[in-house]
Homo-oligomer: A and B are copies of this chain.
């Protein structure tokens, strides 16, 4: 039980709420803890999205199935992470993805209607929770928009420039470290790792950038 609270305190949804207050909040929201076995479905495609989920132990996978039945794992959510929050908050009619436990673990399910509606006994931290959720979804929104800006570019070079430009502007400096290794950056930009390496090398030899490992500098 204590373990849960120390985890929840770090969970972005509960930022700014003390351990004691989290406890009363969970009561107020009638949050349900659910123990899950590896492979167990937590939500299935077509379910009405009524709950925001938080992983307490283990990790869960978000799975999509296309028209022809091909399955893809969209994301893996680890302890502390949220899932299904966007679908719940969007009041989507049905869930377009499935969520299942990738390992034995425990999840916390919060009724999103209770979360989004100010509760009758108007608990103080409820508003904070809503703001936190708003922030989480908005931050993700911005991140998704940025990624789209990069990968809508046609060439590898343009994608790289777009990404490095964003990093430089965010850092406020022409020198910065990126949070990816080559393979991860390639995946993020949706290009081949070797093509990425090639492009980076050429840009360096052309004097546009210099880099070492994940530390980059824009020279022009």
Binding site for B on A (CB under 8 A): 64, 66-68, 74, 85-92, 96, 116-118, 127, 130-131, 133-135, 137-142, 144-145, 147-149, 151-152, 154, 161-162, 164-166, 168-170, 174, 190, 218, 220
Residues in chain B near residue A145, CB distance under 8 A: 74, 86, 144
Residues in chain B near residue A127, CB distance under 8 A: 117-118
Nearest CB of chain B from residue A5's CB, rounded to whole Å = 25
**Alpha-carbon separation in the docked complex, A88 to B144 (Å):** 16
**Alpha-carbon separation in the docked complex, A147 to B135 (Å):** 22
**Alpha-carbon separation in the docked complex, A189 to B67 (Å):** 18
A66-B162, A66-B165, A162-B66 given; A137·B148 CB < 8 A: no
Cross-chain contact B131 with A169 (CB below 8 angstroms)? no
Residues in chain B near residue A67, CB distance under 8 A: 164-165, 168-169, 174, 218
A66-B162, A138-B90, A165-B67 given; A148·B149 CB < 8 A: no
Cross-chain contact A137 with B141 (CB below 8 angstroms)? yes
Residues in chain B near residue A116, CB distance under 8 A: 130-131, 134
**In the complex, given contacts A67-B218, A137-B138, A137-B141, what are 17 additional A-B residue pairs having Cβ atoms less than 8 angstroms apart?**
A66-B169, A67-B164, A67-B165, A67-B168, A74-B145, A85-B138, A90-B135, A91-B135, A96-B169, A96-B170, A116-B134, A117-B131, A141-B141, A144-B144, A147-B148, A151-B190, A154-B190
A90-B139, A149-B74, A218-B67 given; A134·B130 CB < 8 A: yes
Among B137, B139, B149, B174, which residue has its beta carbon within 8 angstroms of that of A134? B137
A140-B141, A151-B190 given; A89·B134 CB < 8 A: yes
Q: Identify the closest chain B residue to A75 (Cβ).
A: B145
Residues in chain B near residue A151, CB distance under 8 A: 148, 151-152, 190
Q: Identify the closest chain B residue to A168 (Cβ).
A: B67
Q: Identify the closest chain B residue to A112 (Cβ).
A: B134
